[in-house]
Structure 1
């Protein structure tokens, strides 16, 4: 009965909200992460309630970013709804490339949104994308392997300690790797891990005068650590592994340690998806010299390009897919452990979610307390923890990510990679007028 009442309530709300003259077909671009796959699975409920149809373009993360950026910058009009993040939303909103989403109605309950997440998707007091899920990062580890090796995970682990643990927990004859981290190049792939790691080592992307700092000691120490530890204790072919690949490796029992998105916890702790659901524990993201910016902050969100001709129907869908009722629908159909995390306070107040998600409190506090305005040990002119909130960062982050992947693959030394990255970043910053 509970499910039928919920479905009826959802249907009634949607029909009331979308009294449109004729049905629309909307094209939605999204990423192939597990939460979005669930959204695609449940979307026929919205289609049935409204008469509209969705044309899904589901892409790997790097490809999604490239396609969506090109389309929105050229006003191509290919997409009616796009999946973007807390990096793009305020920048593109200021450019006039996105419709504002402050008018979804009182029943949307904006006050229920976690403030840091809402603020991260806003510019000049306007909300330009609504959060589908949000995340910080933490350290997933195999408690059974730690216990067997007689190792105790500290309350606040350091990168140095993780390398020591990885050495003890790597058994390549069993395809068991101590240190599974992102290696696939991309500003939102390997650099999402590398950026906070560099912060933890005391580094920063730019000094206060926008001079790139990629050849500084903290960068050299952090990247040397990363390359050595990954080469010694990581899986083979690591430069092909992004978030999804490492999540699959961890969930199938091949990784002892993985530092990545808190949003992956719903998958790792779900026994339907993961072989290690009952063997996994978590700790904060590692620190080293400082804790500033050591755990990242991100929200995957739904936005509507200003080039869309189907704004009302698009608003109906983004409202549905990011609502409290949608969170409840996922909880009751897919299991509460799979409910979209990090966006609404009501999710974390829900006893069913608390019971299903042992990580809930840690995740909520990480996201609610994230400070993108103080991401580093030393002062910087930018905001953003694993990214720098300037339009040029997409290109810079991807170029730097390619160099670091080349060092990881053994094609260049760490020093060569960072010198090339430094020169390329200086060139971009000069062309853009940040430095002379």
Structure 2
């Protein structure tokens, strides 16, 4: 599984709760996001059979289902009345289902993206954050709040290579600037003006007012930077909020404001993602694997996290019932409503200003995108490091996208 805080929590809780109740031992391998994707994709694609359960996301689930790599989970969920499949949020169910309408991964937590800001730093400068900021407003705030002497960045933005690292936030910026990876007829738009304008804006912003070491900063690094009070703003996953509001893990608990993802030409721009548990076809422990998945994505597990670790740390964003838990509403009051609304507003079929040939807000829902997005991200990360220009990065990206597009135009 990916090494995010929610996964580290379940690794701590499993032996004393799930294993004690079922007798099923769970061995966890926790990896950084890019490494996880490489290892799991390789294992599942080659039918290696190393994993009984793996965390995958909204990008992989429908593609891997089509390839016949995963067990469908609908029959398990439907037969398990205690599981309450109907309680799962529809955007999450849809994003993790195959063309046959069956569920191929069960959401552990769901997320959109939003802008987080340090209310104390804003107040000290007499600045007011609007509920729906524009990217230009964000850039202006970053310039005013950047304090290199105090070691506080104006904003934290991912710069780490990877289609799911730097290009998760950056593709949402491209969308709202009016760009897209491909138009509806599969013509690549990577070097087109809106894509270039958005990328230059992002690269300039992080170079001028972003965190130190931005080309190596992904979700985890920005979570640490912002959580230590070393950045005035951070645009990233809504799932980060639970850790930020946990005083034992964050120096900014109670000091963070949350607003919608910044926009330019679109009404909203938040992404849609779920980290979810999938069962590879190769597992020889399917029944035990489902018992673990149903426990890990069920209501009782959420209650366990709340009671043992703190209610703000629930792996939320996947069940409607979560948002009716009184303790969670109280603990997550600063971010729960906006998270749910952002998830509901995200539109994977129409996230920009023009029709798209494939679904996805922060990715293009085709198998080739993982390689394409990662290769272009390496060039963009090099631009953030000052080793190349955005124009060169995107010109190279356009050629790579053209190679992908040829297949689809046929």
| Category of TM-score, reference length = shorter chain | over 0.9
Matched residues in 2 for 1:75 and 1:66: separation? 14
Instruction: State the Cα deviation string for residues 154-179 of structure 1 (Å, max 9, x = none).
Output: 12101111111001101111110002
8 Å CA contact 2:104–2:278 kept in 1: the answer is yes
- Do residues 344 (structure 1) and 319 (structure 2) align? yes
Q: What does residue 69 of structure 2 align with? A: 97
Q: What does residue 409 of structure 2 align with? A: 435
Matched residues in 2 for 1:212 and 1:334: separation? 47
Q: What does residue 389 of structure 1 align with? A: 365
Q: What does residue 38 of structure 1 align with? A: 9
Structure 1 stretches (4+) deviating beyond 2 angstroms?
none
Q: What does residue 301 of structure 1 align with? A: 276
Matched residues in 2 for 1:172 and 1:434: separation? 47
Unaligned runs of 5+ in 2: none
Q: What does residue 126 of structure 1 align with? A: 102
Q: What does residue 221 of structure 1 align with? A: 197
- How far the C-alpha of 1:66 sits from its partner, in A, is 0.5
Q: What does residue 22 of structure 1 align with? A: none
RMSD: 1.0
Matched residues in 2 for 1:141 and 1:364: separation? 19
- How far the C-alpha of 1:188 sits from its partner, in A, is 0.5
8 Å CA contact 1:114–1:368 kept in 2: the answer is no
8 Å CA contact 1:205–1:212 kept in 2: the answer is yes
8 Å CA contact 1:116–1:369 kept in 2: the answer is no
Matched residues in 1 for 2:166 and 2:62: separation? 23
- Do residues 251 (structure 1) and 222 (structure 2) align? no
Alignment of 1:22-421 (within 5 A): 30-44=1-15, 45-102=17-74, 103-104=76-77, 105-123=80-98, 124-292=100-268, 294-358=269-333, 359-421=335-397
Matched residues in 2 for 1:281 and 1:423: separation? 41
For 2:409, what is the secondary structure of its paired residue?
Answer: coil
For 2:293, what is the secondary structure of its paired residue?
Answer: helix
Count of aligned pairs between the two proteins: 404
Q: TM-score, normalized by length of structure 2? A: 0.97
For 2:120, what is the secondary structure of its paired residue?
Answer: helix
- How far the C-alpha of 1:365 sits from its partner, in A, is 1.5
8 Å CA contact 2:258–2:338 kept in 1: the answer is no
- How far the C-alpha of 1:385 sits from its partner, in A, is 0.1
8 Å CA contact 2:121–2:232 kept in 1: the answer is yes
- How far the C-alpha of 1:368 sits from its partner, in A, is 2.6
Instruction: State the Cα deviation string for residues 350-370 of structure 1 (Å, max 9, x = none).
Output: 111110002111111211332
Unaligned runs of 5+ in 1: 1-29
Matched residues in 2 for 1:325 and 1:252: separation? 32
8 Å CA contact 1:186–1:401 kept in 2: the answer is yes
Matched residues in 2 for 1:169 and 1:264: separation? 22
Q: Which has the larger radius of gyration?
A: 1
Matched residues in 1 for 2:322 and 2:132: separation? 26
Q: TM-score, normalized by length of structure 1? A: 0.91
Matched residues in 2 for 1:417 and 1:410: separation? 12
For 1:59, what is the secondary structure of its paired residue?
Answer: coil
